[in-house]
Amino acid sequence: MIAADHPKTESVIEKLMAFNVAIPSWALGTGGTRFGRFNGPGEPGSLEEKMEDVGLLHALNRSSGAISLHIPWDIPEDYGSIRARAKLLGLKFDAVNSNTFQDQPGQKLSYKFGSLQHVDKSVRKQAIDHNIEVIKHGIELGSKALTVWLSDGSCFPGQLNFRKAFQNTLAGLQEIYAALPEDWKIFVEYKSFEPNFYSMTVADWGQSLLYVNKLGPRAYTLVDLGHHLPNANIEQIVSLLLMEGKLAGFHFNDSKYGDDDITVGSIRPYQLFLIFNELVEGMDARGMNHANDLGWMIDASHNVKDPLEDLLQSVEAIMIAYAQALLVDRKSLEDAQSSNDIVKAQEILQNIFRTDVRSIVAEARLRAGGALDPIQIFREMDVRSTLTKERGFKIATGL
């Protein structure tokens, strides 16, 4: 266990207190798969109730002070009251997410064969207009970034001209980029497969980097941990995107197989630590502010656990990985690397990964006015049954 008098303890606690992870509005209800969805009690049925849930998480762990909205799942009816509610709950609005992966009721043209890549110019225009609409919602809420994840691609060889799909998509993203306010960023999220199963038009970090380099200085590549082919070295991808100054930030989750979107750190906690190890090293190399210079967000779906308990576990896993990465003796690691002392380098990382830092994560939470053990308090206060009394059984919008 980390000693309270460890020379870095205080600086680590300060950094943890400044660190916030945004909560996705679509992960506050029970998620499902194509095989089924088992709704839970007391789920939020409106944007206001979703914000209450994020406010609750933030009150318990003081590290969830932002919510990320998905349009059109969360279109605010009254911006003023939503902004006031956010202020009351101590929440900021993180990146807003567009949605051209579903056809909405009354939508003129279908996205069945894609959106920005589509062979039909009018479908591409509809998708561009939607993204510009999403920016307008974000401006009203004080958000400063648009996340674009495109489900575009193909399911069979021969179905798509890859070059034309890329060029159409780039042209669409350029129109969206031109509509960004000066102080906004655009995050281009890649994914290796699903819902298309032969090609995705933004399939990996290289393709996303190609787009964002062509778009301009306010375009960045967003890394969703579940969007990689098996055994991809995500920490190396992170290191290189940081080196290029093109890392947008993260959609944190974990997975064993595909885009499982399960609890952060529940399957591969060592990979999560190695990613934060590259983040701390790379951000310090660029003099970046850990808390504000990247987008920190969870993107998960809860099929069998209470969504709020699951999110509390995910935030805790992120804080633990970050705290451990902050404790790595960078000088010793550099010396080991420059002398090819592989065993020494491994031991430096593995010793820290095997160091229990939960006490300083809890200390940071207490000092920030949070709970020593958020899940214990959530259960002792029987929050879920209170929510159920207030809300009954509602179906939350989202995935």
Q: Which listed residue (53, 259, 278, 299) binds Mn ion by CB under 5 A? A: 299
Q: Per the structure block, which two tokens stand in for 235?
A: 């920490």
Which C-beta is closer to Mn ion: that of 224 or that of 316? 224
Give the total residue count for the chain. Answer: 399
Q: How far is the CB of 378 from ligand LRH (least distance, A)?
A: 24
What is residue 26's DSSP assignment? G
DSSP sequence for 325-361: HHHS-HHHHHHHHHTT-HHHHHHHHHHHHTS--HHHH
Q: Which is nearer to Mn ion, 185 or 251 (CB)?
A: 251
| Shortest CB 373 distance to ligand LRH, Å | 30
User: What residue is closest to ligand LRH based on CB?
Assistant: 149
Pairing of strands 23-24, 199-200: unpaired
Does position 260 bind Mn ion by CB under 5 A? no
Q: With CB cut-offs between 5 and 8 Å by kind, which of ligand LRH, Mn ion, none does residue 316 bind?
A: none
DSSP string, 381-398: TTHHHHHHHHH-S---S-
List residues near ligand LRH by CB under 6 A.
26, 97, 149, 189, 191, 224, 251, 259, 299, 399
Burial of 41 (0-12, 13-18, 19+ CB in 10 A): middle
Among residues 60 and 399, whose Cβ is nearest to ligand LRH? 399
Q: Residue 102 gets which letter from DSSP?
A: S
Stretch that binds Mn ion, among 64-72, 293-301, 360-368, 384-392 (CB under 5 A): 293-301
Binding partner selected for residue 259 from Mn ion, ligand LRH, none, CB under the kind-specific 5 to 8 Å limit: ligand LRH
To the nearest whole angstrom, how small is the minimum distance from the Cβ of residue 68 to Mn ion?
10
224 lies in the site for Mn ion, by CB under 5 A: yes
Q: At what angle do helices 307-327 and 47-61 cross, to 10 degrees?
A: 40
261 binds Mn ion (CB under 5 A): no
Q: Is 251 an interacting residue with respect to Mn ion (CB under 5 A)?
A: yes
Answer whether 124's CB lies under 8 Å from 115's CB.
yes
Residues engaged in binding Mn ion (CB under 5 A): 224, 251, 299
